[in-house]
């Protein structure tokens, strides 16, 4: 989402439109997942490839991160489950109210 703010893009959620002003003065509109208009304009955008050294957290803790951060980790199936206890209820505790006489 950082690159959208750098390009001063507008997101119209209700209409599912992203409007990106281009350097030549035109506005590129992306409707849903299908771009409309001249697709050649997408090639005019410059993208700077970031290095791991550019990320402050990686720079502070180099021993935690591997040398090769080539991309996302491989997809794997994760088993996630929350076991519920039958009949358990949330803890109902009234909030503590400070009386005006106690404030002094």
DSSP string, the chain: -HHHHHTT-EEETTTTEEEEE-TTS-EEEEETTEE-S-GGGGGG---PPP-GGGSHHHHH-TTTS-S---SSPPP-------PPPTT------PPP---TTTT-
22 is in which domain, residue-wise?
A: 2-45
Predicted confidence at residue 82, as pLDDT, reads 81
* Residue 58 placed within a domain: no
* Residue 13 placed within a domain: yes
Domains of the chain: total: 1
* Residue 104 placed within a domain: no
* Residue 32 placed within a domain: yes
* Residue 40 placed within a domain: yes
- Reading the block at residue 34, the tokens are 């299908």
* Residue 22 placed within a domain: yes
* Residue 25 placed within a domain: yes
* Residue 51 placed within a domain: no
Q: Is the pTM of this model over 0.85?
A: no
Give mean pLDDT in consecutive 10-residue pieces for the chain, a chain of 104 residues. Answer: 81 85 85 64 63 79 74 78 83 77 72
């Amino acid at each position: 989402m950082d690159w959208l703010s750098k390009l001063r893009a507008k997101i119209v959620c209700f209409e599912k439109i992203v409007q990106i002003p281009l350097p030549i003065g035109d506005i590129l509109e992306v409707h849903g997942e299908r771009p409309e208009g001249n697709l050649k304009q997408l090639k005019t955008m410059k993208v700077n490839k970031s290095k791991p050294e550019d990320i402050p957290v990686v720079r502070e803790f180099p021993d935690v991160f591997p040398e090769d951060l080539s991309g996302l980790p491989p997809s794997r199936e994760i088993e996630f489950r929350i076991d519920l206890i039958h009949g358990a209820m949330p803890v109902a505790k009234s909030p503590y109210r400070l009386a005006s006489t106690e404030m002094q």
